[in-house]
Every structure is written in structure tokens, then in C-alpha cells.
Structure 1
Amino acid sequence: MFGTIRSDLSSMSLKCAVELKIPDIIHNHGQAMSLSYLALALGIHHSKLHCLHRLMRILIHSGFFAESKTNPTDQQKAYVLTPISHLLRKDNPLSPTPFILGMLDPVLLKP
């Protein structure tokens, strides 16, 4: 049962990342992107950073993103793209983004 719950959570987190265009934002940043910069780029208020952090933790655990450091001396974690998240960029002609959004559309998910 836990596997099913986790897969649903992972799928909905992926949908959220695609809708927010997180892969494009990190790619356009040109380097590892800290949580605070990602929140700023997304227009998320600093009081909601914990929510974005939780979303990114799920996406990292699912392999869609990876953690890095902004520089070797800095302790702040940052996010980078993985080969999977590179596929989700809008400039990728083979992007599965339309399929992901279609399959996770609320109309198709209703019982």
C-alpha cells in the first residue's frame, strides 16, 4: 500500500514541477540553484519556502532532480537537473511533458 501512495505522491509532484516549469528555471539559471533563488524565480513568498523544500525533496527522492552545493565552501544546498529532468525542458522536442500533463489531468484521475 505504501508503494501506491508513494507513486501517487511522486506523480503529482512531477506534475507540479512541470506546471511550474522548474526544469526550465533551473536550466536557464545556468548553475545549481538554491531554494531561495528558486522560490524567487517562481514568485513564491518566503513564508512558503518549507512547502517548496518538501516538493523538491520528493522530486529528488524520485530522481527528477539532484542536490548540489552552490560552491564548495558554501553549506547551502542547491538543485541541479538530472538526465530525466533535462527531458522535461520545454526546448526538448522529445519532451514527455504533454503526456505527463494529460495523464495526470484531474478529469482522467476521477474515479
Structure 2
Amino acid sequence: MGLADWFRKDFDGAVPSPFEDVHGAAIFEESMVLLDPEMDQLLHDALAAHDHMGIGPVLRQCRELFDGLESLTDCGGGDGTTARSIVEAYPHITCTVLDLPKLVLHFWSDEDCVKILAQCKKAVPPRDAGGKVIVIDIVLGSVSGPMLETQHLMDMVMLVVTRGRQRDEKDWSEIFVKAGFSGYKIVKKLGARAVIEVYP
């Protein structure tokens, strides 16, 4: 099946991604490992590589992000690479890893992102006590040249393999407000991605 075929299909109810339509399961669903174990492993390996590559620049260029933190929960923690790197750099921070790749926000619709972030908000202390949610994701249009092309390519990937998408700052702002947050700040732009602090 090609992408053009998927666009011409009539679906009842929720529209699956093209990936889900072909494989019979969404990426990271438990059934995916049964339906296509090689693809499931490839996806998990890709996320692990993403984590290995991404945390170094965050730790080097966003040191203020960790000021005052005593604990941190990595909700898409995979094999714990990010948490281990944070603890090595900041031994006073207690890190908890939840291996929930399903919580990578660009995998989800706006409505689902609101639900996910609203749950995160419930788990963090108030803003005046240092509570915040840290989002590391693409903010479309925040860069130019080859990085902008990379952002748009990733948006196409999300269209094909998930029900999600990449978002611009306005999209993120609307999601944060709907999830009940009081504000946010884009701390740093790192290549195609940005580091965002979201405040309860």
C-alpha cells in the first residue's frame, strides 16, 4: 500500500496511521512485538539512539534547566540513558525512569497530548515549589535552512507512522493552556529540537 492509497481509504471511527493500517498495530503497542518483532525492536533501538544522542547537548547547554531540581521522572525513559546521564551530571537529583515511549508527545494528537500533559501536571509540585514539566521536542519554524527541512521531514514521518505531528510554538502554547499549565518558556533551541519548561 502506498500513501496515496491510504489517503483514498474510507475509515470508520478513528483514522489509523498508514503504519498502523499496514502493520495492524500502532508503534509501541504491546501487540506490535507479536505482529512484527523485528520492526518493534528497530523502533525501540531508534528511540534509544535518539536518547543517547540528545541528552549530551541538553546537559551542556541547558544547565539552568536542572537548577533547584531534587527529583525528575523521565516518562519516555527507555533504557535509562537519559536518567543516568542526568544523575552523573547532577548526583543530587533522584531520577525515576518510566519506560513509556507512548508518551513521546509528537506521536499523539493534540487532544491526547492535552490528556498526557494534564496527568503530568498532577504529578509535579506547584510552580512556586519548583515544579515544572520539561518537554524536549520539535518546535516547527524555530530554525531555518537544513534544520527546518529536518523538522518538516520529521512531521512527514509522524504523519506516516503515528497519529501525531510536529507542532509550532502556537500549537504547543494551546496544548499547554488546555492541559491547565500557567505558562511555558522555550529554554533553548538545539538543532531541530527545543527544550521547553512548562509550569503548573
TM, length-normalised to structure 2: 0.22
Structure showing the higher helix proportion among its residues = 1
Higher RCO by CA contacts (8 Å cutoff, separation 6 or greater): 1
State which structure, 1 or 2, has the greater radius of gyration over its C-alpha atoms. 2
Structure showing the higher strand proportion among its residues = 2
